[in-house]
Amino acid sequence: MKKLLALGTELGWLNTLFYGIHSILSRYTRQVALFKYYLVVQPVGKEPNLPPYRGRSIQVRLVPKEDQAVKEFPRPYEVIQYRYQQGAVCLGAFNNNNNLVGYLWLILGAYDEDEVRCRFILRPVGEVAWDFDVYVRPDYRASFVFARLWDEANKYLQEQGVHWTLSRVSAFNRMSREAHRRLGAVEVDSALFIVVRRWQLMLSTCRPYFHISSGSANFPRLEVTPPDYLTLN
């Protein structure tokens, strides 16, 4: 009971209910699934998260699809290739032994989600990017890897003329939501997906608000944009 109360306090009671359903479905079937996302926006940082003398042992560079480091990604090969095909770029973090210890993905155009059938359309074009699947190896999660990745990501995005980065965060991942908040992210919308075999139902707080489809050729296109009340410093 204490664990349930703690989870309800952390996630909210509705999210806790959805999380319970999600966990049961994940454990017992692949035919039915439930996902809830928050859509978050954050400004591209102009100031580094780390001072110059911190995290220098972590090197961050672009990882092309033919790089040997791709084999170390804890994601299915076909998912990784699908991301590169969309035009996504990956920033990888490496330790002194050139071992991959983290990565972060960015895409400057529309993004096709690989967990559900959905396309995120970014507005205004050219000023907004999409970040996704930020990963840090478990034994480096108390290090400067996360901050180094974001410092280099911000540099890259500034060079591309991007002012904002958008992303989706699982409503069930408290740590990820808190990490984004520390970077200045604001939750602006949400989307719920219920998948039953080939059928998918989507309910969202942004257009088109409601969508139902029966196959991969039909999917919702969510337009995501920084709200008017957010301003760049």
Domain parsing of the chain, residue ranges: 9-224
**What is the structure's pLDDT at 224?**
86
**What is the structure's pLDDT at 24?**
86
149 contacts: CB under 8 Å, gap ≥ 6: 60, 91, 93, 102, 103, 104, 134, 136
The CA distance from 114 to 42, in Å, is 22
What's the pLDDT tens digit per position in 152-208? 999 999 999 999 999 999 998 888 888 888 878 889 999 999 999 999 999 999 889
Is residue 4 pLDDT above 50, yes or no? no
Give the domain 9-224 fold: Aminopeptidase (3.40.630)
User: What percent of the chain has pLDDT above 70?
Assistant: 92
Distances (CA, A) of 152 to 34, 89, 183: 34, 13, 14
What's the pLDDT tens digit per position in 9-44? 566 778 878 888 888 888 888 889 999 999 999 889
Sign of CA dihedral 25, 84, 64, 108: negative
What's the pLDDT tens digit per position in 100-153? 999 999 999 899 998 899 999 998 888 999 999 999 999 998 888 998 999 999
Q: Which pTM was predicted?
A: 0.85
Is residue 233 pLDDT above 60, yes or no? no
- For 44, the enclosing helix (H) or strand (E) is none
